[in-house]
Amino acid sequence: MPRNRFICRWNDCKKFFTSVETLFEHLTDDHVGRRATNNLCLTCCWNDCGATAAKRDHLTSHLKVHLPFKPHICLKCRKPFKRPQDLKKHEKTHTIEHQGTFMGTKG
């Protein structure tokens, strides 16, 4: 499959998308849905995953484990991350304090 084609693997959907961002939007809008539109689904049906969540945000966050979607980019080294908390943790590796501890110069 070409790199610029992403397939939805939610149940039998099989729709193709040209970017992982549009696939993610499709998943969150069409498959996870919303309580307000009466189509909310809190069970992941990606390749029969079956993970459940108590809240919509938790399931949409979970979906990123199935996708090469890393929208949070480190401004120092350009390394991408799926979750903002992972980026925040990584950013600390660029501090002088961390580098000093890592190099064994701080006790």
- pTM for this model (two decimals): 0.71
Q: What is the pLDDT of residues 35-74, one digit of tens each?
A: 998 999 999 999 999 999 999 999 998 998 999 888 899 9
- Res 106 pLDDT > 50: no
Q: Which of the two residues, 10 and 2, has the higher pLDDT score?
A: 10
The overall average pLDDT reported for the chain is 88
What confidence score (pLDDT) does residue 53 get?
Answer: 96
Per mean pLDDT, which range of 2-11, 21-30, 93-102 is the poorest?
93-102
Q: Write the DSSP string, the chain.
A: --TT-EE--BTT---EESSHHHHHHHIIIIII--TTTT----B--BTT---B-SSHHHHHHHHGGGS----EE-TTT--EESSHHHHHHHHGGGSHHHHHHHTT---
- Res 17 pLDDT > 90: yes
Q: Which of the two residues, 34 and 101, has the higher pLDDT score?
A: 34
